[in-house]
Chains A and B, each alone.
Chain A
Amino acid sequence: MVYVIRRLLQALFLALVMSFLVFAGIFAVGNPVDILIDPDATQAERARLIAQLGLDRPFHQQYFIFLGNVLQGDFGNSFVYNRPALGLILERMPATLELAFAAIMIAVVLGIPLGLYAGLRHGSVGSQAIMAGSILGFSVPNFWQAIILIMVFSVALGWFPVSGRGEVGEFLGIRSSLFTLNGLHHIALPAINLAVGHLALVIRLARSGTREVQAQDFIRFARAKGLSESRIVLVHILRNILIPIVTLVGMSFGGLIAFAVVTETIFAWPGMGKLIIDSIRLLDRPVVVAYLIVIVVIFIILNLLVDLLYSLIDPRIRLDGARQ
């Protein structure tokens, strides 16, 4: 419990530091007034608007006003849409979350068994094929993969739609396109595109973990106990290789949410990534700031979850955490 509280305090501090960095970074980019004000406006009008936006105040005052507003959930209005920036982002978040979730599921559900197989049957043709595929998986550029996927599966074979998000279904109060056939049909290609690199990493981690754990005395002892091969692999080996995989999944998930930009753009997926690219292009500062803060918070939450998961998987970590 002490451990959790300490981690939460760390997380709060981190969020504060990040808010400062984000604000300072955006402050350094330049004066938004130049974009906001009609070039034909008079000097008096300019001064009035600057004062109204608070841009005439010193940096630290601006920061504290910003922080105060953020703590009340107010990130300001988008210059482009003239609506609350946070609302815009939260509106797009489900689309990005479901895409990232689908990609991670593909990476884990395929990656762990493939990696286990490659580790257990080290040196076999199947294992070598998997490893060669995984090298291909994370060395082929993402955007190129996306284009090839579209060309082959959408244009040439016509199996999947070219772009866009399908129908949204509702299940247990969650609205997601994962709950309709049409939605799944639409998400397949972008999810695969996002998953490939991470799939390759999961395979490699699972394989190296399996090979390492397999040589341990406790696996030999498990064999000596007469356990079935499936129990040895699925319980004794799998539990031991989960830690690096959980780390990777946690980090990847954050990365997928924050940087699904390329995939979302190519597949015209209406998620946060596409919004942020548009906002950067239009210098829509409140949206950019709100986006960065949201991403920081997501990363912090994911890190926390990963650390808590560790202690569930590996009992030794629980003890060490409590002792410190």
Chain B
Amino acid sequence: MRLLEIDDLQTHFFTSGGVVKAVDGVSYGVDRGEVLAVVGESGSGKSVTGLSVMGLIDAPGRVVGGSIRFQGREIANLRSAEMRRLRGARIAMIFQDPMMTLNPVLRIDTQMVETILAHQDMGRAEAWAKARDTLGRVGIPSPDERMRAWPHQFSGGMRQRVAIAIALLNKPDLIIADEPTTALDVTIQAQILHLMQGLVEQDGTGLVWITHDLSVVAGFADRVAVMYAGEIVEAARTDDLIDAPRHPYSRGLIGSVPSRNRRGARLAQIPGGAPPALDRPEGCRFAPRCSFRTHGCEKLQVLRDGVRCWRAGDLPPFAAALTGTAS
């Protein structure tokens, strides 16, 4: 039994302009102690998938199909009271902008203690002590004083640490992190990554790491799912994906990461932009931007053997393309 198993998830937004299929048949799973990176550009549906698991999709959006099983239990259409008991307790979430995730008019201790008391039957003093210990655990110096501070007295990196501490408070089984390092400086990014890696290893927590930054993924995630236009286009072990991406979109993503081996060469880019959510191409959604496009790409593509491209087997080897420009 996997910790989290999403199967053919459909999350749609019913707007006046039409139905936006933000998540259109996504399936992935995470085990305990495993890190899954979900990679994709803005609007690919990676965040909406995460929010769907949390039951945090607001109107006009709705999970319209598929299943989300958490520890074997179906939670896609759980009653709100039961979902609330899971949220923040068994499944925690961390968001992108640490400057915005803490309530500016409540002290840190208030925001931490309430998270514990929402789920555990515990005295206020005991909860406070527990919150302080967790604050220390995420590397915040003199946690006793910092507990009584206000969010505006923290830097961005420190606030993200506080948000991580809040996520850890109730010892969740699964953490969904939605671009938690995107808004931070590169040095702080590395610290937060390192911190999360350590915490997940210690507690055996499952981690879904949503990001658009492939360079963050290498060496951190066990597996990667690449999303494009509401679908997963490729899912593989991290090393395999980075060494030998099979889908043309994954190739484009990896090829466009600047590398020391290609110093001086022109940066590769994927031509064009993602299709508008209300007007996606029939068949392969990446086809209009794909340099390997041929007849047959207008057919509906299915995820077969971890890749959503019927030509995946015929494409020239990826490594050659890279080493060709090296040295």
Stretch among A16-24, A156-164, A214-222, A261-269 lining the B interface: A214-222
**Residues of B participating in the A interface, judged by any CB pair closer than 8 Å:** 54, 56, 84-89, 92-93, 95-97, 100-107, 114-115, 118-119, 150, 152-153, 163, 166
| B118: chain A residues within 8 A (beta carbon) | 225-228, 231
User: Which of the residues B54, B105, B150, B163 comes within 8 Å of A240, measured between beta carbons?
Assistant: B105
Chain A CB within 10 Å, residue with most, of B97, B103, B153 = B103
Chain B CB within 10 Å, residue with most, of A217, A218, A227, A316 = A218
Whether the pair A226, B106 counts as a contact (CB closer than 8 A) is: no
Given A218-B101, A235-B106, 20 more pairs with CB closer than 8 A: A217-B100, A217-B101, A218-B100, A218-B102, A218-B103, A220-B95, A221-B93, A223-B56, A225-B88, A225-B92, A226-B86, A226-B87, A226-B119, A227-B118, A235-B114, A239-B105, A314-B104, A315-B105, A315-B152, A319-B152
Contact bitstring A302-321, B, C-beta under 8 A = 1, else 0: 00000000000111100100
Q: Which 4 pairs show the lowest CB-CB distances between chains A and B?
A: A226-B88, A217-B100, A225-B88, A226-B87
A1 within 8 A of B: no
Chain B: minimal CB distance from A242 (Å): 8
Whether the pair B150, A226 counts as a contact (CB closer than 8 A) is: no
| B114: chain A residues within 8 A (beta carbon) | 225, 227, 231, 235
Chain B residue nearest to A216 in the complex (CB) = B100
Provide the bound-state CA to CA distance between A225 and B54, in Å: 10
Provide the bound-state CA to CA distance between A228 and B88, in Å: 11
| B85: chain A residues within 8 A (beta carbon) | 226
**Residues of A participating in the B interface, judged by any CB pair closer than 8 Å:** 216-218, 220-228, 231, 235-236, 239-240, 313-316, 319
* A-B interface contact total, Cβ < 8 Å: 77
Provide the bound-state CA to CA distance between A85 and B10, in Å: 76
Provide the bound-state CA to CA distance between A143 and B18, in Å: 50
Provide the bound-state CA to CA distance between A61 and B64, in Å: 83
16 contacts across the A-B interface (CB closer than 8 A): A217-B97, A221-B93, A222-B103, A223-B87, A224-B56, A224-B88, A225-B92, A225-B115, A226-B85, A226-B86, A226-B88, A226-B119, A227-B84, A231-B114, A240-B105, A316-B150
Whether the pair A224, B87 counts as a contact (CB closer than 8 A) is: yes
Whether the pair A217, B115 counts as a contact (CB closer than 8 A) is: no
Whether the pair B104, A221 counts as a contact (CB closer than 8 A) is: no
| B150: chain A residues within 8 A (beta carbon) | 315-316
Interface majority SS (helix, strand, loop, mixed), chain A: helix
Chain B: minimal CB distance from A100 (Å): 28
Chain B residue nearest to A218 in the complex (CB) = B103
Whether the pair B119, A218 counts as a contact (CB closer than 8 A) is: no
| A217: chain B residues within 8 A (beta carbon) | 95-97, 100-101
Chain B residue nearest to A319 in the complex (CB) = B152
Provide the bound-state CA to CA distance between A222 and B102, in Å: 8
Whether the pair A221, B95 counts as a contact (CB closer than 8 A) is: yes
Provide the bound-state CA to CA distance between A242 and B107, in Å: 16
Provide the bound-state CA to CA distance between A313 and B107, in Å: 11
Chain B: minimal CB distance from A49 (Å): 62
| B100: chain A residues within 8 A (beta carbon) | 216-218
Chain B CB within 10 Å, residue with most, of A216, A240, A315 = A315
Known: A227-B118, A316-B152. A221 touches B102 (CB 8 A): yes
Whether the pair B93, A224 counts as a contact (CB closer than 8 A) is: yes
| A224: chain B residues within 8 A (beta carbon) | 54, 56, 87-88, 92-93, 95
| B104: chain A residues within 8 A (beta carbon) | 218, 240, 314-316
| B101: chain A residues within 8 A (beta carbon) | 217-218, 221
Provide the bound-state CA to CA distance between A220 and B56, in Å: 8
Whether the pair B105, A225 counts as a contact (CB closer than 8 A) is: no
| A240: chain B residues within 8 A (beta carbon) | 103-105
